[in-house]
Amino acid sequence: MQVTVENVSELGRRMTVTIDDANIGQSIAERLIAIRPSVKMSGFRPGKVPMKMVEQSHGPSARREVIDSLVQSSMQEAFVQENINPAGRPHIDKMEEKGDMFVYSMSYDVFPDVKEINLKGIKVEKITAEVQDSDVDTMLETLREQRISWEPLKRAAKETDGVTIDFVGSIDGEEFDGGKGVDTLVVIGDGNMLPEFENQLIGTKAGQETTITMTFPDDYRAEHLKGKEASFVITVKSVAKKKIPKLDKAFAELCGVDGGIAALKKEVRANMTRELTSTLKTGNKRKVMDSLTENNELALPETPVEREAEHLMEQAKTNLRNQGVNIDGIPFNIDNFKDNAKKRVLLSLLIGKIISDNDIKPEEEQVKSVIDGIASSYEDPEDVVKFYMNDQQKLSEIQMMVVEDSVVEWILDQVKVEETSSTFSEVMNAANAA
């Protein structure tokens, strides 16, 4: 087999493969003989169809199969022989038979050659933060708020009370979409409903029926309601006040922790520290990787970028579906995902270069440490550790995570790092906003 490769562009290549002893005719004949026993044709018993008729009916498909098999096997051999890793599926440009000789040419892209990693001038802001006692206290208050109960009242509703209502809204006497609710809890002053709606519930009592009128803001999210005046027929089911649980042993048990408030605080702090550590690591890693790609520009082949953009688009669709969003009417366009796709493909090439140049490998102790950290948040950590250690795909994901962490540490050792102190709430709010 003879192979020649020519450059047609910066990343474009054309390969010509010549197979001197292809013997395509002989391979087709052998293929037809092999399928003859299974060929069915009216007037002939199975296996007795004349070869000429088998050739007439199955010859073209047999030829396609033989040539396709020849091209696929020789293509792989040619890439190995020339030490080439194509960036995408090659495109066959031309095929030609010359007696026993078979010649074909194909076009494909290659990945750029990353000659060196440029880290000159990079400054990375590394955010640090710790969980303070005040953060734990705030979290405990949040946990109390999440476990409130409602104590029914006979008096009229006032601010901060919870009023359970049925309501039907109308505009100019006609009911409108989204204007109806049953057993809806409205906490006056919480802002879950429009203030003009909530405030008119002040003074209402259980069993009362009333009508309130309000005007939707000009910037209201629903287009058909902007600036419209609406009337709501309200039936008050109940009026209640919040009952927030005390921070005591019973509350700790309600949160699934034995040992009282001290044990609960310890558990809350551990969970918050774990979450903060993970968030800081993710955020700081993103800054390092962004700096790396911004400092190292490369021409990229289109095929892997298209493939990555397609993956990101499908990922976005899945995330929206998981949130209960109907995506049927959303006009997804792959071009909207290409910038991120290019960055991810470039980052993959740069990380690969750093790993190769520095012989970075996942250390067993680091892998075990990461798995232990994941397992610690589960009820039975040992089962989780066994699951990861016995699942090669999951284990490979952790190993790659460890390698990437090592790459980040290597970069931080080479560049200027400026540490900035932050707080738990600032870090978590910034992560949620992103």
- pLDDT tens digits along 391-423: 999 999 999 999 999 999 999 999 999 999 999
Report yes or no on 337 lying in a domain. yes
pLDDT digits (tens, 9 = 90+) for 293-311: 999 999 999 999 999 999 9
Report yes or no on 60 lying in a domain. yes
Residues 181 and 268 placed together within one structural domain of the fold:
no
Residues 89 and 177 placed together within one structural domain of the fold:
no
Report yes or no on 249 lying in a domain. no
Report yes or no on 117 lying in a domain. no
- In the chain, the amino acid numbered 156 is A
Which tokens is 275 given? 């979450």
Residues 231 and 294 placed together within one structural domain of the fold:
no
Q: What pLDDT is stored for residue 362 in this prediction?
A: 92
Task: Name the pLDDT band for 433 (thresholds 50, 70, 90).
Answer: confident
DSSP string computed for 222-262: SGGGTT-EEEEEEEEEEEEEEEPPPSSHHHHHHTT-SSHHH
Task: Name the pLDDT band for 369 (thresholds 50, 70, 90).
Answer: very high
Query: What is the mean predicted confidence (pLDDT) over 150-176?
Result: 95
Give CA–CA dist 351/408, Å, rounded.
Answer: 9
Q: What pLDDT is stored for residue 25 in this prediction?
A: 87
Residue where a domain stops, chosen among 243, 278, 301: 243
Name the more confident of 377 and 432: 432
Residues 276 and 158 placed together within one structural domain of the fold:
no
pLDDT digits (tens, 9 = 90+) for 245-268: 999 999 999 999 999 999 999 999
pLDDT digits (tens, 9 = 90+) for 173-184: 999 988 999 999
| Residues sharing a CB contact under 8 Å with residue 187, sequence separation 6 or more, in sequence order | 160, 161, 162, 163
Query: Which helix or strand (DSSP H or E) is residue 343 part of?
Result: helix 338-358
Give CA–CA dist 138/132, Å, rounded.
Answer: 10
Residues 55 and 174 placed together within one structural domain of the fold:
no
Residues 301 and 388 placed together within one structural domain of the fold:
yes
Residues 276 and 309 placed together within one structural domain of the fold:
yes
Strand pairing report for 174-187 and 101-109: unpaired
Report yes or no on 141 lying in a domain. no
Q: What pLDDT is stored for residue 353 in this prediction?
A: 96
Q: For residue 226, give its domain range.
A: 149-243
Look at the chain and report how many structural domains it folds into: 3
| Residues sharing a CB contact under 8 Å with residue 161, sequence separation 6 or more, in sequence order | 153, 187, 188, 239, 240, 241
Residues 96 and 204 placed together within one structural domain of the fold:
no
Residues 405 and 304 placed together within one structural domain of the fold:
yes
Give the CATH number of the domain where residue 224 resides.
3.10.50.40
Which tokens is 211 given? 């009508």
Strand pairing report for 101-109 and 91-98: antiparallel
The closest of 87, 113, 123 to 294, measured between CA atoms, is 123
CA angle 363, 368, 373 (to 5 degrees): 130
When the pLDDT of each residue in the chain is averaged and rounded to a whole number, the result is: 93
On whether the CB atoms of residues 401 and 349 are closer than 8 A, the answer is no
Give the CATH number of the domain where residue 30 resides.
3.30.70.1050
Residues 166 and 208 placed together within one structural domain of the fold:
yes
On whether the CB atoms of residues 112 and 299 are closer than 8 A, the answer is yes
Give the CATH number of the domain where residue 291 resides.
1.10.3120.10
Residues 17 and 95 placed together within one structural domain of the fold:
yes
Residue 139 buriedness (CB in 10 A; 0-12 / 13-18 / 19+): middle
pLDDT digits (tens, 9 = 90+) for 62-110: 999 999 999 999 999 999 999 999 998 999 999 998 888 999 999 999 9
Report yes or no on 227 lying in a domain. yes
Residue where a domain stops, chosen among 180, 211, 243: 243
Name the more confident of 221 and 347: 347
Whole-model pTM? 0.74
Report yes or no on 96 lying in a domain. yes
Residues 68 and 156 placed together within one structural domain of the fold:
no
Give CA–CA dist 119/117, Å, rounded.
Answer: 6
Residue where a domain stops, chosen among 189, 214, 243: 243
Report yes or no on 115 lying in a domain. no
Task: Name the pLDDT band for 57 (thresholds 50, 70, 90).
Answer: confident
Which tokens is 20 given? 């001197």
Q: What pLDDT is stored for residue 377 in this prediction?
A: 79
Q: What pLDDT is stored for residue 43 in this prediction?
A: 80
